[in-house]
Amino acid sequence: MSLRPRAHIHLSSIAYNWRAIKAAQVTGITGAVIKADAYGHGLREVAETLHDAGCDHFFVAHAFEAEATRATLGSHPNIYVLNGPSPDEEALYRENALIPVINSSFQFRTMADWLVDGVKMPRGYALHFDTGMNRLGLPAKDTSELADASAAQAPVLIMSHLACSEDSGSAMNAHQAEQLKTISDAFPNVPLSLANSGGVWLGLDYHHALTRPGIALYGGGHPPEGLVLKPGLTLEAPILQVRQLAAGETVGYGGSWRAIAPTLIATLAIGYGDGFPRSASNKGFVSLGGKRCPILGRVSMDLITIDVTQASDLARPGVYGQLIGPDAPLEEQAALAGTIGYELTTGLTPRVKRIYQS
């Protein structure tokens, strides 16, 4: 019996979520963001699953992720590199027919140098304009200049990124949508993309030609009432030991939790070395057979300790407890740890065994 923590990756659930997002769109094509190893779920496996489901537009952060995606999916889909090109990557982009997302004047010049001899990019390129995020993106004031400079090869996509899409009441959303509309006037007939997962839930004005859902594919984020997404993974860890504490005894480093009554505790083989956050100390929980068992004391590198007093009939060495999944919702667990679902799934280390289920 292995004592490693494990993550069951539910590929059929990820495909289900993509279809649910697609159905929620009023217009436009539904893409998929699979950067950071598909948010910790496995880039190759997830890319293949979504492509089989009908997805033809994939977004990654780095060119090496795009290269792996191309090797997995073959020549058909469009693969966009969100962080943009480096001057030494021309051959990689051309050989793999990658679509660079241009975020700065430096990157625009880089790509312009690649077009000097009139050899166009195989799948074109996208221009990313900053409309309020103030992270990556071309300044809106350079729109006319960039439109003129694009004569050698027009962009295949004009895009921006929503800063506050999780807050449907934020005025920033409408402001960014209006900014993108103004920018688009300089690029007639070029498709637009603005919506991430949260942007899809904002409705028609944000869907445009192409959406870029990420966390929602994996069952995270905050979909509208009535739309239920399925967990992309179930994270589990085995119990190593069960012991009885007397009142007054403490648990873990620093003795940060003290028993006020006799307490049955169990130690599980998972910790921050596996990607489960230390910030969940004394806050998170583990589900044993649907019974919630609070985390006691500090999360250490390899171990956590939980209160199994109310699950004594289930708690024994070798039994797996669930930390993320149907009985331990991703965003709830993340909130208890003071973080977000993105960080919990992308943070899972190679020590966690991935088990793929179709």
| Spatial CA neighbour of 318 closest among 235, 217, 241 | 241
CA angle 44, 45, 46 (to 5 degrees): 95
- Quick check: 179 and 131 in contact, CB under 8 A? yes
In total, the chain counts a number of residues equal to 358
For all residues of the chain together, what is the average pLDDT?
A: 97
- pLDDT tens by residue, 173-215: 999 999 999 999 999 999 999 999 999 999 999 999 999 999 9
Instruction: Determine how many CB atoms are found less than 10 A away from the CB of residue 22.
Output: 17
| Of 322 and 117, the one with more pLDDT | 322
- What residue segments make up the domains of the chain, in order of their start? 31-218, 233-357
Q: Pull the structure tokens for residue 42.
A: 């496995």
Q: Which helix (H) or strand (E) holds 250?
A: strand 250-251
pLDDT surpasses 80 at 284: yes
- Quick check: 256 and 316 in contact, CB under 8 A? no
- pLDDT tens by residue, 105-128: 999 999 999 998 889 999 999 999
What is the arithmetic mean of pLDDT over 233-241?
A: 98
Q: How far apart are CA 82 and CA 342, in angstroms?
A: 17
Q: What is the pLDDT of residue 116?
A: 87
Pick the CATH number of 31-218 from 1.10.390.10, 1.10.630.10, 3.20.20.10, 3.40.50.11540: 3.20.20.10
pLDDT surpasses 70 at 53: yes
Catalytic residue selected from 16, 35, 218, 272: 35
Instruction: Determine how many CB atoms are found less than 10 A away from the CB of residue 281.
Output: 22
What is the arithmetic mean of pLDDT over 211-221?
A: 98
- pLDDT tens by residue, 132-146: 999 999 999 999 999
Q: How far apart are CA 106 and CA 93, in angstroms?
A: 17
Q: Which fold has domain 233-357?
A: Lyase, Ornithine Decarboxylase; Chain A, domain 1 (2.40.37)
Q: What is the pLDDT of residue 212?
A: 98
pTM: 0.96
- Quick check: 104 and 136 in contact, CB under 8 A? yes
Q: What is the pLDDT of residue 117?
A: 83
For the question of residue 120 being annotated catalytic, the response is no
Q: How far apart are CA 270 and CA 303, in angstroms?
A: 5
Q: What is the pLDDT of residue 1?
A: 62
What is the arithmetic mean of pLDDT over 252-268?
A: 97
Q: How far apart are CA 334 and CA 157, in angstroms?
A: 34
For the question of residue 320 being annotated catalytic, the response is no
- Quick check: 35 and 59 in contact, CB under 8 A? yes
What pairing do the DSSP bridges indicate for beta strands 210-211 and 29-30?
parallel
- Quick check: 235 and 325 in contact, CB under 8 A? yes
Percentage of residues of the chain with pLDDT beyond 70: 100
pLDDT surpasses 70 at 239: yes
Q: How far apart are CA 161 and CA 131, in angstroms?
A: 8
Contacts of 303 (CB under 8 A, 6+ apart): 240, 267, 268, 269, 270, 271
